[in-house]
Amino acid sequence: MRLWTVHPRHLDRQGLVALWREALLARAVLRGETRGYTRHPQLERFRAHPSPRLAINAYLAAVHVEAVERGYAFDRGKIGPLRVVESIEVNAGQLEHEWQHLLRKLAVRNPALYERWQVVSPDQHPLFRLRPGPVESWERVAPGVGQA
């Protein structure tokens, strides 16, 4: 499961579709509707939010907006109620770690998009607010990768 800190606009088609599915799975986990993935580290920041279910709905809503802008038919009815929610703080090192991870993926499966994105700084998903800091403690990082 990868709930990207990176803004959905930076994802290729495969990444955006996978994000939609994985965020819907995260929503099911947070609602207690599945027994799998209940301890997944990507969910820690949502569980720490004052309203985890509303936060994942807000996360999904931004993914849906991006999908609609691209002409995809993601089902809005799967998101659930939307409310204005408090942003989730995330370390800038986490965003950079994910950006490098995404660029490695794009270099292989979408070289044109890789060329476009490798010269820009990424935006974060609108639910997140950046703060200085290293890769988040919940992120599983291979030794020597992403150490700030």
Residue 143, domain member (yes or no):
no
Residue 83, domain member (yes or no):
yes
Residue 121 belongs to what domain range? 8-131
Residue 73, domain member (yes or no):
yes
**85: CB partners within 8 A, 6+ apart:** 49, 51, 54, 55, 58, 127
Burial class of residue 27 in the structure, from the number of CB atoms within 10 Å of its CB (0-12 exposed, 13-18 middle, 19+ buried)? buried
Position 80 scores a pLDDT of 85
Residue 146, domain member (yes or no):
no
Q: Does the predicted TM-score (pTM) go above 0.85?
A: yes
Residue numbers in the chain where pLDDT is lower than 70 = 143-148
Residue that the structure tokens 């931004």 belong to: 62
Q: What total of structural domains would you count in the chain?
A: 1
Q: How far apart are the first and last CA of the chain?
A: 23
Residue 98, domain member (yes or no):
yes
At 103-127, the pLDDT tens digits run: 999 999 999 999 999 999 999 999 9
Residue 110, domain member (yes or no):
yes
Residue 140, domain member (yes or no):
no
Q: Which residues on adjacent β-strands are paired with residue 124?
A: 6
Residue 50, domain member (yes or no):
yes
Position 34 scores a pLDDT of 86
Position 119 scores a pLDDT of 94
